[in-house]
Amino acid sequence: MTTILVTGGTGYIGSHTAAALIQSGYEVVILDNLYNSNEHVLERIQTITGVLPKFYQCDILDKAGLKKIFDENKIDAVIHFAGYKAVGESCEIPLTYYENNISGSINLYEAMNDAGVKTLVFSSSATVYGAPKSVPIREDFPTHTTNPYGSTKLMNEMILADVCASDPEWSVLLLRYFNPIGAHQSGLLGEVPNGIPNNLVPYIARVANGTLEFLRVWGNDYPTVDGTGVRDYIHVCDLADGHIAAVKYALEHKGADYINLGTGNGYSVLQVLHAYEKACGKELPYKIMERRPGDIATCYADTEKAFKLLGWKAKYNIDDMCRDSWNFTVKNPDGIV
Ligand code: WQD
């Protein structure tokens, strides 16, 4: 059986991907430091799949802990999610972000190399495109980052491209996610942000369940359909399936490549809000505020390469995403406990 190490595997995207991997016939080993998640996620994965994944509570800054995992398990490939991911926070504590997301990742790549494991799927982000010159965004568009979080993603891409150039045995797929939202249809897995959510849909979910008063809409003077920001929202289960296709491809090929994981459709803030109102059956209050610094007007993916290379395309629409997000929110008022 092919064994995949999933770093950050008790997190939002990592847990959905771990469950999908098991259901696709892979053996999964999870590494997580539980900074932004908890061990109850493992039980949820077991309820969904019937399998309790092998788990190591380990930080990617812990070189001995990483070596132990590769010594004790025959790993065939790694999907690397572990990392800090809050844009605003990264501007406040950049050194913590560079230490964790760069030094920690290099520890992982060195542990892989020492163990002869040279197949990797990396969790990158559409944030590496910065403000695109046009949309839809193709993988060959220029990259430019505007915050330390985005820079750590771009630097990891550069490091891994250099590793592949130095050793033809390496196989790396760099997946550039657009805006992941939604939750597992069972309501057992979903997004549980620490504190007040920065991202749109987790914030709307808290307005819908009454724990936040209204949505602050960051600007309605953008050159878009209704003046509010447009993004390519992708269901987290579509994203998980994209990783299944990616790891299969990476195990059969060598070299580095970049792939967008998005739907190719853009939705405005107000369009998402109205979709969520349909999902939860109530009107959701909002107030138009000033633009949020660093935001761009419009961002959505060209999805051609993902389909050509991986045979993958997203299948869920914005109503599915809001329905599943609301279902998870109602079933887990206190998060995953
Ligand atoms: C989406 C839209 C906001 C919150 C970020 C990261 C990116 C990726 C996805 C990891 C924008 C508006 C939001 C709110 C609002 N993460 N908004 N009120 O900024 O596109 O991308 O998350 O890879 O790296 O940058 O996502 O959900 O924060 O914002 O009006 O309370 O919703 O202005 O137009 P973003 P977001």
CB distance 217 to ligand 1 below 6 Å: yes
For residue 200, the CA-to-ligand 1 centroid distance in Å is 6
Neighbours of 328 (CB within 10 A): 24
Catalytic positions are 149
The pLDDT value given to residue 172: 98
* pTM more than 0.75: yes
Residues 143-196: tens digit of each pLDDT? 999 999 999 999 999 999 999 999 999 999 999 999 999 999 999 999 998 889
For residue 295, the CA-to-ligand 1 centroid distance in Å is 8
The pLDDT value given to residue 236: 98
Residues 280-326: tens digit of each pLDDT? 999 999 999 999 989 999 999 999 999 999 999 999 999 999 999 99
pLDDT(278) > 90? yes
The three-state secondary structure class of 333 is coil
Q: If DSSP states are collapsed to H, E and C, what string results for 176-200?
A: EECEEECCCCCCCCCCCCCCCCCCH
DSSP class of residue 25 equals T
User: How far apart, in Å, are the Cα atoms of 13 and each of 123, 213, 241, 287?
Assistant: 9, 27, 11, 30
For residue 179, the CA-to-ligand 1 centroid distance in Å is 8
CB distance 206 to ligand 1 below 6 Å: no
The pLDDT value given to residue 330: 98
CB distance 104 to ligand 1 below 6 Å: no
CB distance 229 to ligand 1 below 6 Å: yes
pLDDT(258) > 90? yes
User: How far apart, in Å, are the Cα atoms of 56 and each of 2, 66, 267?
Assistant: 18, 9, 38
The pLDDT value given to residue 311: 98
Residue 298: half-sphere exposure toward Cβ, Cα within 13 Å: 17
- The counts of H helices and E strands in the chain are 12, 14
Spell out the domains of the chain, with CATH numbers in brackets: 3-182+234-263 (3.40.50.720)
The pLDDT value given to residue 193: 87
CA 322/CA 181 separation, integer angstroms? 8
For residue 261, the CA-to-ligand 1 centroid distance in Å is 16
Q: Which helix (H) or strand (E) holds 154?
A: helix 148-166
User: How far apart, in Å, are the Cα atoms of 207 and each of 118, 156, 210?
Assistant: 44, 35, 5
Let me know: does 300 contact 230? Beta carbons within 8 Å.
yes
CB distance 199 to ligand 1 below 6 Å: yes
Q: Whose CA is nearest to atom 30 of ligand 1?
A: 217
Q: What residues are paired with 299 via a beta bridge?
A: 231
Q: Whose CA is nearest to atom 8 of ligand 1?
A: 179
- Among 211, 213, 269, say which to mutate for ligand 1: greatest number of ligand atoms within 8 Å of CB: 269
* DSSP-assigned letters across all residues of 57-106: E--TT-HHHHHHHHHHS---EEEE--S---HHHHHH-HHHHHIIIIIHHH
Residue type, 47: T
The pLDDT value given to residue 56: 98
CA 99/CA 248 separation, integer angstroms? 30
CB distance 54 to ligand 1 below 6 Å: no
Residues 43-74: tens digit of each pLDDT? 999 999 999 999 999 999 999 999 999 999 99
CB distance 218 to ligand 1 below 6 Å: yes
Q: Whose CA is nearest to atom 4 of ligand 1?
A: 200
The pLDDT value given to residue 194: 85
Residues 200-249: tens digit of each pLDDT? 999 999 999 999 999 999 999 999 999 999 999 999 999 999 999 999 99
